[in-house]
Chain A
Amino acid sequence: MAESIKIKKGLDIKLKGKAAETKSDALQSQFFSMRPDDFHGMTPKVAVKEGDAVKVGSVLFYDKANPDLKVVSPCSGTVEAVNRGERRKVLDIRLKSDGKFESVPFEKAQPSQLSSADVKKLLLESGFFAFINQRPFDVVANPNDAPKAIFISGFDSAPLAPSYDYVFDYTQCKDELQLGIDALAKLTTGKVYVSIHKDSAARAFKELKGVVITEFEGPHPAGNVGVQINHISPINKGEVVWTISPYDVVAIGSAFKKGTIDFSRLIALVGSSVSKPSYYKTYPGAEIASVVKGQVSEENVRYISGNPLTGRQVSKDGFIGAFAHQITVIPEGNKNNELLGWIMPRLNKFSTSHSYFSWLLGSKKEYVADTNLNGGERAFIMSGEYDAVFPMDILPEFLVKAIMDKDIDKMEQLGIYEVAPEDFALCEYVCTSKIETQRIVREGLDYLRKELA
Chain B
Amino acid sequence: MKALRNFLDKVKPNFEEGGKLSAFRSVFDGFETFLFVPNTVSKSGTHIHDTIDSKRVMSFVVIALIPALLFGMYNVGYQNYLVAGTLDQASFMEVFFYGFLAVLPKIIVSYVVGLGIEFTVAQWKHEEIQEGFLVSGMLIPLIVPIECPLWIIAVATAFAVIFAKEIFGGTGYNIFNVALITRAFLFFAYPTKMSGDSVWIAKESIFGLGNDLANGTVDGFTGATALGQVATGSTTTVTDALGNPVGLNDMIVGLMPGSIGETSVIAIMIGAVILLVSGVANWRTMISVFVGGALTAFLFNAIGSETNQVWNLDWMEHLCVGGFCFGAVFMATDPVTSPRTNCGKYIFGFLIGVVAIIIRCMNPGYPEGMMLAILLMNLFAALIDHCFVQRNINKRLSRLNNK
Contacts and interface: CB of A to CB of B under 8 A. Distances in A.
B338 A341 contact: no
A356 B52 contact: yes
Nearest to A328: B47
Interface stretch (B97-105, B169-177, B230-238): B169-177
B44 interface: yes
Interface in B71-114: none
Contacts of A346: 51
B358 interface: no
A115 interface: no
B42 A373 contact: yes
A355 B57 contact: yes
A350 B49 CA distance: 9
B125 to A, nearest CB: 12
Interface SS majority for chain B: loop
Interface stretch (A50-58, A79-87, A102-110, A389-397): A389-397
B282 A343 contact: no
Contacts of A437: 45
A363 B358 CA distance: 47
B266 interface: no
Interface in B261-314: 277-280, 282
Contact of A429 (B48, B173, B335): B48
Contacts of B59: 342-343
Nearest to A426: B46
A394 B393 CA distance: 9
B350 interface: no
Interface in A93-122: none
B21 interface: no
A371 B39 contact: no
B379 to A, nearest CB: 17
A337 B36 contact: yes
Nearest to A333: B41
B130 interface: yes
Given A372-B39, A374-B53, A375-B53, A436 B340 contact: no
Contact of B47 (A338, A371, A374): A371
Interface string A373-393: 111111111111001000001
Nearest to B396: A415
A376 B129 CA distance: 10
Contact of B128 (A328, A338, A376): A376
Given A372-B37, A394-B392, A413-B396, A433 B54 contact: yes
Contact of B335 (A15, A311, A382): A382
Contacts of A382: 57, 335
Given A234-B399, A342-B56, A381-B172, A374 B278 contact: no
Interface in A326-347: 328, 330, 332-343, 346
B189 interface: no
Contacts of A15: 48
A371 B42 contact: yes
A381 B46 contact: no
Interface stretch (A28-36, A169-177, A196-204, A302-310): A302-310
A354 B273 CA distance: 12
> Most chain-A Cβ atoms within 10 A of its Cβ — which of B5, B40, B48, B59?
B48
B50 interface: yes
B389 interface: yes
A342 B55 contact: yes
Interface string A413-428: 1110000010001001
A340 B60 contact: no
A351 interface: yes
Nearest to B386: A398
A89 interface: no
Contacts of B41: 302, 332-334, 370-373
A161 B47 CA distance: 15
B389 A395 contact: yes
Contact of B46 (A309, A342, A354): A309
Contacts of B385: 398
Interface string B371-403: 000000000000001000100110111011001
9 tightest CB-CB pairs across the interface, nearest first?
A375-B53, A379-B172, A438-B45, A341-B37, A342-B55, A353-B52, A355-B278, A369-B48, A338-B37
Given A302-B47, A338-B36, A355-B279, 6 more contacts: A339-B36, A372-B39, A381-B132, A381-B335, A414-B389, A439-B45
29 contacts: A236-B399, A304-B47, A310-B45, A310-B46, A334-B41, A340-B36, A341-B51, A353-B56, A353-B278, A353-B279, A355-B279, A371-B47, A374-B37, A375-B54, A378-B130, A378-B171, A379-B130, A381-B57, A382-B57, A382-B335, A383-B340, A384-B342, A387-B342, A398-B340, A428-B49, A430-B52, A432-B54, A433-B54, A439-B44
